[in-house]
Amino acid sequence: MYRQTRTTLKHVSPRTLIAYDFETTGLSITEDQVCQIGAMALDSELNWLESLDTLAKPRLDVIGAAEAFLTTKLLPSELEVAPSEREAFQRLYALITKHSAKHMVGYNSARFDSKVLQHGLYRNLVTERVHRLYLQELDIFKLALMVYALRKSTAINFEHNEDNKPSFRLESLCPINGIDLSGAHCAIEDVQGTITFAKHLRANEPQLWQYWLNLSDPRNVEAICSANDSLYLLTGTQFGSTNRYTRPVAIAQKTPFGYYALDLTLNFDTDEKHLFQKVNKFDSPMITQVTEAQGDRLIEYLGYDKETIEKSYKESQTVDMLGLFNEWQQKHKKDKNWDNNGEVYRQGYDKFSKPEETDVAQLSPLSASDFLISSIKSSRVAQLAARILAFQGDSLSFDFNSIPQREADLIANFLKSKHPDSNKTTAEKMQTLREMIKTKENPKELAILQELLDLNLRNITAWESFIEQSQ
């Protein structure tokens, strides 16, 4: 059941890294936007090289969420004099390319920030290479989770609640480990806290640190999982804290994105929704081979019965795995519900075609005021460029006659679809904002919410003007 030695992996040692964090106007990757970017270029020893700290002006088509602005404590009036979202992402991309960085470091960034980065570069036409950057995401949250799961004795401290459940929030981990994070939810302060906590992890868990780095290379994940003659441990928040977020698994099925692993704690019943777990080789999966030197001790430490797991493992070696997987997949196959409905902001994962790349390459070095929409050959790029002109400039001076009729009509239809009279999300954001203004007593919070309400109302009024102009 256990391997005698671990698979030898390719040593990953990034020459430069970019640690980064975003503060946003809400939680939607496509409907909201960045309002603050913090980033630091680091050398291989995590030493500082260069910083970026910039706010970003809200786009005209964005309705800010009250909760997001109360979290960041940013006044909308501060943002209205900031660079445009496009300019902010251009600065971030310049930092990445200047230092030839291929690794991005964040905290809990794989879930949100990495996707915001992808879509921000895409919709702002920052580079034609947006789908070919191949930036590896190094999420410190994953390393913290692995330390908690796999290390019985560690110098890393974790705060627990009354139910003995650990907190993995950065603002919890930093103070309990002697790291100052007084400016939490300020992007550049969160970046500094992430770097300091990363150094703390590396100093106290050097072997696990290197293993975590190695997992960022898909070839290493392939090497680990292809030697599927042993027991593995898969760590993830989906498993809950009872067994330290970790399940014993067996590699079951190879796929283009990586593998599926069979959960050995469950009955081999295809009605079990989570019988198989996805192991995405491009997403630094937290998978570990179990060796003889640590096997029984580690299984016991995680709270599992060794005989039960051994029995399940042996059964996994004799079962018709392909048949079991195919039956399970058929029962639990999800319909792809990511329907972009032709909405250009929702096409951020759709690679640019060669003609589109050519158009973006011509536009990316230009300022938005120099865009000539009528000369853009590809429809999607023309729509994005038109939105940059309409939503990131001065709405009072924007002339619909400056763009082709087709793009003007598309913008008007887009704004109609977002109007609170027809859009449930927009209506709910405005309702929540008004209700929170009635209940807040803190002067600073009240000022933030009132400014946000005024900004959102001005944006909606501008939408109505745009719609009227286009008719």
pLDDT in tens, 210-263: 999 999 999 999 999 998 778 999 999 999 999 999 999 999 999 999 999 999
Share of the chain above pLDDT 90, in %: 87
Angle at 454 between CA 450 and CA 455, to 5 degrees: 115
Which residues have CB under 8 Å from 320's CB, separation 6+? none
Give the three-class secondary structure for 126. coil
Residue 337 pLDDT greater than 60, yes or no: no
Q: Please say whether the beta carbons of 325 and 253 come within 8 A.
A: yes
> Rg of the Cα trace of the chain?
25
Cβ neighbours of 450 (radius 10 Å): 15
pTM over 0.75, yes/no: yes
Average pLDDT over residues 78-87: 96
**Lookup result for tokens 């230009």:** 366
Of 97, 130, 95, nearest to 114 by C-alpha is 130
Give the three-class secondary structure for 358. helix
Residue 318 pLDDT greater than 90, yes or no: yes
pLDDT of residue 152: 86
Share of the chain above pLDDT 70, in %: 97
Residue 342: which pLDDT band, with cuts at 50, 70 and 90?
low
Q: Please say whether the beta carbons of 234 and 287 come within 8 A.
A: yes
**Least confident residue range of 278-292, 332-346, 348-362:** 332-346
Q: What residue type is assigned to position 52 of the chain?
A: L
* Spatial distance between the Cα atoms of 419 and 400, rounded to a whole number of angstroms: 19
Residue 448: which pLDDT band, with cuts at 50, 70 and 90?
very high
pLDDT of residue 425: 95
As given in the structure block, the two tokens for residue 395 are 């709405």
Of 169, 178, 198, nearest to 40 by C-alpha is 198
User: What tens digit of pLDDT does each residue of 36-80 get?
Assistant: 999 999 999 999 999 999 999 999 999 999 999 999 999 999 999
Residue 395: which pLDDT band, with cuts at 50, 70 and 90?
low
* Spatial strand order in the sheet of 246-255: 276-280, 258-263, 246-255, 232-235, 287-289
Residue 336: which pLDDT band, with cuts at 50, 70 and 90?
low
Q: Please say whether the beta carbons of 155 and 173 come within 8 A.
A: no
Which residues have CB under 8 Å from 381's CB, separation 6+? 125, 352, 356, 359, 360, 363
The bridge status of strand 136-139 relative to strand 103-106 is parallel
**Least confident residue range of 69-78, 196-205, 392-401:** 392-401
Give the three-class secondary structure for 186. coil
Q: What residue type is assigned to position 404 of the chain?
A: P
pLDDT of residue 335: 60
Q: What is the mean pLDDT of the chain?
A: 94
Q: Which residue has the higher pLDDT, 393 or 9?
A: 9
pLDDT of residue 106: 97
Residue 397: which pLDDT band, with cuts at 50, 70 and 90?
low
User: What tens digit of pLDDT does each residue of 404-414 get?
Assistant: 999 999 999 99
As given in the structure block, the two tokens for residue 350 are 């759709």
pLDDT of residue 68: 97
